[in-house]
Structure formats: structure tokens, C-alpha cells
Amino acid sequence: MENNPFEIFTAEYESWFKENNNFFQSELLALKQVVPTEKKGIEIGIGSGIFAEKLNIKFGIDPSENMLKLARQRNLTVDYGFAENLPYPDNSFDFSVFITSICFISNPSKALQEAHRVIKQNGELIIAFIDKESSLGQILTAEKKDSKFYSTANFYSVKEIISFIESCNFAVSEIFQTLTDLKKTEIEQPLKGFGKGSFVVIKGNKK
């Protein structure tokens, strides 16, 4: 990624989660509904490892060396690389997770095909993202060109992500949502389904 904002604004990325801890904790709760924390998983687009550390995900890959430095400080096993060309053998992991990284990937279909390849039979794919059609999705889309982080992003609707998942031979099994009210300061309990929350988590099973 040319002029990778996560390489440039690494410290600001970390600070955001401290300043918006209620959002972070709400997102973690939604992820914990579907992430099999006792199994061997990889986060694709792991960034600084701030989510992986809390979800007991030990492995990751990312195209930002500055982010990976922070991930290594969290004792995570990480590699430099891109989602469309994963440097792992077939059937290496029980599950793969994309946490808000899908919108920064140039070729999401290729990335999901790669995820399918490295996941074991009957393994799981989990994609967490900001729904383009949600209140936050609409705000981020409107402010996209002036954003340090999202100027290069492609936001997706839930239906678009489901289409990606199903076209890459996964069967959607669960969907959770959170951040239904952006004015709330307390941590939200996740809800099943989508259409109310800005942060959506979809789990698919490898066919």
C-alpha cells in the first residue's frame, strides 16, 4: 500500500483505542461471540495486535512494519506481507480473522480465497467491519477524503461482505452487531443480526 497511513500514523492509531475505550470494548464483546479463542487462528491485517492480544490470537500478518513492531511487543508471532498472498501452507490455521482490515485490501476476493486456503477443513472465517449503510459508515464515507486513515478505504455493506464470503466457498453461520448508538459512553452488549449496529461481525464456515 503506497503511503500506508498505518505506517505513518501508528501512534495515533493506538491512541484512538485508548480515547474511545467504550467503542473498543464493545467491538471486542461482539468479536468474542464468534472468535474461537481456544483454537489456532491468524489475524489478517493484524496491525498493532491490539485486538489479537485480547482475543488470544497468536499469529498475524500486516503490510506495516511499524504496526508489526507493536504487535511483536505484545508477544505475537507476526509476518510482513499482504492478504492476497499469504506466506503459509494450506490448512495451517483453525480460523482466520479480518478486523476492519477488509476495507483496506486491494482485492478482497483474492484475500478471502487465500484465507480459505490456509484454513483447515470446517475451519472458520470471521470478518468484522464498519457497515457502509450504518450511521458511522455514512459518516466515514462522507469524511473519507479528509481522513488520515480512511482516505484509501473501500467501505462495504453487509450484503456485499456476505457475497464475498459465499463466493469464496464459506457458509455464513452467525452475525453480530454493536455500536448501535454512537452517543453512548457505556460499553454495549452485542446484538444478533445486522441493520442497527455500525460494527458488524460475520462468521463463515469453510465448505
Decide if 161 contacts 101 (C-beta within 8 A): no
**Contact in structure between 66 and 6 (CB atoms under 8 Å):** yes
CATH (domain of 20): 3.40.50.150
For residue 203, count CB atoms less than 10 angstroms from its CB and return exposed for 0-12, middle for 13-18, buried for 19 or more.
buried
pTM of the full structure: 0.93
Give the pLDDT confidence score for residue 5 in this predicted structure. Answer: 57
Average pLDDT, the chain: 93
pLDDT, tens digit (0-9, with 9 covering 90-100), for 170-189 = 999 999 999 999 998 999 99
The number of domains in the chain is: 1
- Domain interval for residue 142: 5-206
Averaged pLDDT for residues 17-45: 95
